[in-house]
Amino acid sequence: MSNDKIIEVKDLKKHFRIKSEGATESTSLLKAVDGITFDVLEGEILGVVGESGCGKSTMGKTVLRLYDKTEGEVLYRGEDLFAKSEVQMKEMTRKMQMIFQDPYSSLNPRKKVAKIIGQSLDIHKIGTSAERLDRVKYLMEEVGLNPKFRSRYPHQFSGGQRQRIGIARSLALQPEFIVCDEAVSALDVSVQAQILNLLLDLQERHSFTYMFIAHDLGVVEFISTRILVMYLGRIVEIATKEELVNRHVHPYTKALFIASPVVSPRDRKEGKHLFQGDVPSPINPPSGCHFHPRCPYAVEKCKHAYPPLKEISPGHSAACWVVQNDI
Amino acid sequence: MQNNQTSQEIIKDPTPLQETWYNLKKNKGAMVGMTIILIFIFMAIFAPLISPFDPLAQIIEDRKTPMFTNGHVFGTDDLGRDMLSRLIYGARISMAIGVISVGISLVFGILIGVTSAYFGGIYDKIVMRIIDIMLAFPYILLTIVIVSVLGPSLMNAMVAIGISQIPRYARVVRASVLAEKEADYVLAERALGAGNFELMFLTILPNCLSPTIVQATLGVGEAILSSAGLSFLGLGAQPPTPEWGLMIASSKEFITNAWWIVTLPGIAILLAVLGFNLFGDGLRDILDPKMRN
Amino acid sequence: MNQHEKETLLSIEDLNFSFTTQRGIVRAVRDLSINIKKGETLTLVGESGCGKSVTAHAINQLNPMPPGHVDSGKIVFNGTDLLTLKKSEIEALRGTQISMIFQEPMTALNPVFTVGSQIADVFLTHQDMTKQEAMEKAVELFRLVKIPAPERRVHSYPHQLSGGMRQRAMIAMALASPNPGLMIADEPTTALDVTIQAQILDLLQDLKQHIEMSILLITHDMGVVAEMADRVVVMYAGRKVEEADADSIFHNPHHPYTLGLLNSLPSNKKYKGARRLEAIDGTVPDLLTIGEGCPFANRCVYQTGECSRSFPKETIISESHSVWCHNYQAVKTENRQ
């Protein structure tokens, strides 16, 4: 793994205006992604973990410019994605791809598998139709699908096979960078394991860079080389996997690790020290550090000011006043 | 190697078309409707071959022949034209009215519906307010206004019916595109580099067809009825066209002494409209996911 | 805790449940027998389509019938066969002695009434008390399930509560019945965030300390099993393949599928530093075309000719551990710990 940055995200914000329900029609601002800065390094698997509403999926889609940004920058090898024209952006789709969560809704039900997988080749007018067909067959084999099923429709496949179709589709243009948005979350455990192995095989073969977004800490911990933890639109901690697993410092990261189910009944703990309270709505997040109402270590300062993401040891940053000893 | 096994077993599901047919067969109303429609379509296509007489030929000595006499199964009208032949040719006209006027509303309805749902924003707001205004006019009044402007003729009646029905199609299409455009597969194809045109018409639209097909089927029945109404008022087909509405209009004074001249075209209209409505309702039951269990 | 001295609360005997679909008959549950003793937590674990939810819903007859139908079997609860009861009698049992919590509580709560009044209703139907008293009892239950500010929360409508709070309200409602003998929890935490899931599981464990109640927990998540189960039934494609106490399932699995499930978990301790998982190949067979053999045979590395011919008989490993596998010995020797 080299240390070249493939993606640089600088103070990225993505806000949605939403109509609130109720007697009076008013709009409020959902700050799905609210000022995050990080890099994705060439060849790494950057795991992004957080609970629902933390903005991880929105962040993944904004990084690929599938959503427009509100503020900030995304650089792909130094080039600003949001400064690109539509034609230039179309070129960029050859380098950056996405694998979606739901293998049911992410495949067009009216298209045959060969058409789905080969669609990007059609769009970018790559090769002759015979070459495209060969490529589709090759891709199907590469993801473990029998090429003779290429003229079937998505609903004729099981969930795991459909996810393989989605993966083949994203490989067609030979991208460098792939965002996997909860790519295994909707799958049964045994199928999830197959797909995780497949993603790792493909990464080794093609030296992809992945951004792997998931809510399941166990999965992220297994697949990632570096992990980024998000809470309500912001990064709370980022470090290499070994560092984060063994020496996580942010109270929210701790909460996630404590809450993760045990792997054997022998590890059950009576009266675990669980963090209380609900995940607040991202529409009106708590003032100051968003985690302070649930945080047992919170001090007065946490209620007023959001802590910046600061390096606490090389390659390990956290956004917490208490950890940074700045109270 | 482990992966290759996975693809060997495949779920054998019926295709969507097979499934629709299976459900359709269970729906008695839809089957009755479909049979009626098929009979009318058959009549329309093979009219010259199956009609016993020329629908326009006047046989003066046979005027107002009652049913089942002199080889006129359904009798003749006040000018001695064979009723059965006129009804058969009338089917041809009615089917054409249905197809052409629904075609007009479909094309424009889809264009308006897809674009306003897809682009949203101020464009959507303006288009939808215009649609609202059109919907605020009573439908038949709007049609009459349009025909009056264009001048009374069968073709203009079809155009008028087509135009006045556009808002309904636009609404139906817009609603389903709005629901469909958020689906992951649309985002996925955008991520592959697909442009707006491709996304709108090749990706989203095919997935919005079910409600549109239902609306169009019901619309054919309605168009036949409206055109009969316009012709009855003298705004549609002109004599001697064997149009059902016109046939009723021009023979209404004979209702007491030659009832079949008035009644039979009425029954033909009733059957055609009933057929399309039964079939359309059946399709709705089958294609609407909310009605499925 | 000695399970064997405890009384059986519910026993399912040789249940066969199938659905008639346009493609044919789907045998969703086959020859299933399970026992739930008083006060224990039994987990039904398996992947989608294994029949775990159908089994749970068969108990209080929540499966749609038709297309579903019971082909044979008995479901005996406190001495009565539930399958012989009339509709009204089953409805009386639901919410009194058998309560249920669902994956998405929003579907089970009535959106137009406050959660408090829905719980009070349970008291009013089964017990003689005034509205005032019922409401007070509802507040008490809210406190029991650790909903903050219960006096205020009882007046909330379901949509005003967060997912975790709604699930707590559902649990409170289940506890409102006069004799909560059996609680069926169908994927109760699947829709929840992990920190909230931990709170709800903790709450359920806590409640069991105070209330004599059996829980039938349906889940696909081995982590939830590890946290909650006393006993575990592993299901695959409508069949029970292994049944044991929780510790044996995790540390001495005898069925290749149980072993495969455990190996599929990325959080399994054996994968520290590993870059590949030992995944189970293949996919779940189509329940329409499945034969009489072991349904796992096509994915099983220990498969022999016998496996596709007949479904194995029960092999008793120990008092609390049974397995249904022709070649369980092969599995055992390879993975003895």
Q: Which residues in chain C belong to E strands, given as ranges?
A: 8-21, 24-37, 41-45, 68-77, 80-81, 98-101, 182-186, 214-219, 231-236, 239-245, 315-318, 321-323
Q: Could you tell me if residue A85 is inside a domain?
A: yes
Q: Which of these ranges, A17-31, A130-144, B112-126, B266-280, has the smallest mean pLDDT?
A: A17-31
Q: Which residues between 235 and 294 in chain C have a beta carbon less than 8 angstroms from any beta carbon of chain B?
A: 279, 281-283, 285-286, 289
C202 touches chain B (CB under 8 A): no
Q: Would you call B6 and A144 a contact, using CB atoms and an 8 Å cutoff?
A: yes
The CA distances from residue A182 to A35, A220, B150, C173, C244, in Å, are 22, 10, 58, 33, 33
In a domain, A228, yes or no: yes
CB contact (8 A) between residue B9 and residue C285: yes
Q: In Å, how far is A158's CA from the nearest CA of chain B?
A: 7
Q: For chain A, what is the domain count?
A: 1
A201 in any annotated domain: yes
The residue among C239, C187, C255 whose CA lies nearest residue C27 is C239
CA B270 to the chain's CA centroid: 14
Provide the Cα torsion A223, A227, A231, A235; round to 10°.
-150
Interface ipTM: 0.85
**Most distant CA pair in chain B: distance in Å?**
88
Q: What is the CATH number of the domain that holds A232?
A: 3.40.50.300
From the list A194, A259, A263, the residue facing C279 with the nearest CB is: A194
Say whether residue A164 is in contact with chain B using an 8 A CB cutoff. Answer: yes
Residue A153 in contact with partner chain B when CB distance is under 8 A: yes
- In A42-101 the beta strands, taken as DSSP E runs, fall at 45-49, 71-76, 79-80, 96-99
Flag if A274 and C198 touch (Cβ within 8 Å).
Answer: yes
Contact A190 C280 (CB under 8 A): yes
Lowest mean pLDDT across B63-77, B203-217, C258-272? B63-77
Segment B142-194, tens digit of pLDDT = 899 999 899 888 889 999 999 999 999 999 999 999 989 888 899 999 999 88
Under 8 Å between Cβ of C307 and C294: yes
- pLDDT one-digit tens code per residue, A113-133: 999 999 999 999 988 889 999
- In the numeric block, the tokens 């215009």 are attached to B130
Best residue in B1, B2, B13 for a mutation probing chain C (most C CBs within 10 Å)? B2
Q: Which residues of C fall within a CB distance of 8 Å from B12?
A: 23, 286, 289
Instruction: Return residues 17-56 of B near C (CB < 8 Å).
Output: 19, 22
- At C332 the pLDDT is 64
3-state secondary structure of C200: helix
Nearest residue to C119 via CA among C194, C57, C169: C169
DSSP code string of chain B = -HHHHHTT-------HHHHHHHHHHH-HHHHHHHHHHHHHHHHHHTHHHH-SS-TT---GGGTTPPTTBTTBTT-B-TT--BHHHHHHHHHHHHHHHHHHHHHHHHHHHHHHHHHHHHH-HHHHHHHHHHHHHHHHS-HHHHHHHHHHHH-S-HHHHHHHHHHHHHHHHHHHHHHHHHHHTTSHHHHHHHHTT--HHIIIIIIIGGGGHHHHHHHHHHHHHHHHHHHHHHHHTTSS--TTS--HHHHHHTTGGGTTT-HHHHHHHHHHHHHHHHHHHHHHHHHHHHH-GGG--
Minimal Cα–Cα distance from C58 to chain A, Å?
23
Residue A302 lies in a domain: no
Let me know if domain B26-55+69-291 sits in CATH 3.40.50.300: no
Give the pLDDT confidence score for residue C337 in this predicted structure.
44
Q: Looking at residues A289-303, what average pLDDT do you find?
A: 89
If you average pLDDT over every residue of chain A, what do you get?
89
Q: Which residue of C has its CA nearest to B20?
A: C22
Using CA coordinates, name the residue in chain C closest to B15.
C23
A-chain residues near B188 (CB < 8 A): 98, 100, 106-107, 166, 169
pLDDT at position A1 over 80: no
**C176, burial (CB in 10 Å: exposed 0-12, middle 13-18, buried 19+):** buried
Beta-carbon count within 10 A of C50 CB? 27
Residues 81-120 (B) with a CB less than 8 A from some CB of A: none
CB contact under 8 A, C47 and A221: no
> Are A107 and B188 an interchain contact pair (Cβ–Cβ within 8 Å)?
yes
The CA-atom distances, in angstroms, between A101 and each of A180, B36, B155, B185, B284 are: 8, 47, 52, 11, 31
Per-residue pLDDT of chain C (337 residues; tens, 9 = 90+): 444 457 888 899 999 999 888 778 888 999 999 999 888 999 999 988 888 989 988 888 888 877 888 888 989 988 888 888 888 888 878 777 888 888 877 777 888 888 888 888 888 877 778 888 888 888 888 888 888 888 888 888 888 888 888 888 888 888 887 777 888 989 888 888 888 888 888 888 888 888 888 899 999 999 999 988 999 999 999 999 999 999 999 988 999 999 999 989 888 888 887 888 888 888 888 888 888 889 998 888 888 888 888 899 988 988 889 999 998 888 765 544 4
| Residue A91 C-alpha, separation from nearest chain C C-alpha, in angstroms | 33
Measured between alpha carbons, how far is residue B184 from residues A76, A99, B209 in Å? Answer: 24, 10, 18
Quote the pLDDT of residue C90.
83
Strand order of the β-sheet with A5-20 is A26-41, A5-20, A71-76, A79-80
Instruction: Look up residue C203 and give its two tokens.
Output: 């709450």
Contact C324, C255 (CB under 8 A): yes
Hey, is the C-beta of C48 within 8 angstroms of any chain B C-beta? no
Please check whether residue A212 lies inside any domain of the structure.
Answer: yes
Angle CA B115–B116–B118, to nearest 5: 65
What pLDDT is stored for residue C5 in this prediction? 57
Name which of A51, A218, A278 is nearest C165 (Cβ-Cβ). Answer: A278
Mean pLDDT is lowest, of B16-25, B29-38, B129-138, for: B16-25
Tell me: pLDDT of A96 over 90: yes
For C277, the closest of A51, A197, A258 (CB atoms) is: A197
Q: How does B52-71 read in b/e, with b if 16+ C-beta sit within 10 Å?
A: ebebeeebeebebbeeeeee
pLDDT digits (tens, 9 = 90+) for A36-77: 999 999 999 999 999 888 899 999 999 999 999 999 999 999
The residue length of chain A stands at: 327
Question: Chain C closest CA to A18's CA: distance in Å?
Answer: 17
Check: CB of residue B113 under 8 Å from CB of residue B131.
Answer: no
State the residue for tokens 């389509």.
C49
Omega of the bond prior to C66 within 30 degrees of 0, cis?
Answer: yes
Do A197 and B2 count as a contact with CB atoms less than 8 A apart?
Answer: yes
pTM: 0.83
* Closest CA–CA distance from residue A37 to any residue of chain B (Å): 23
CA atoms of C170 and A283, how far apart (whole Å): 26
All structural domains of chain B with their residue ranges:
26-55+69-291
pLDDT (tens digit, 9 = 90+) per residue, B83-121? Answer: 888 899 988 888 898 899 999 999 999 999 999 999 988
Domain that residue A71 falls in: 5-95+175-247
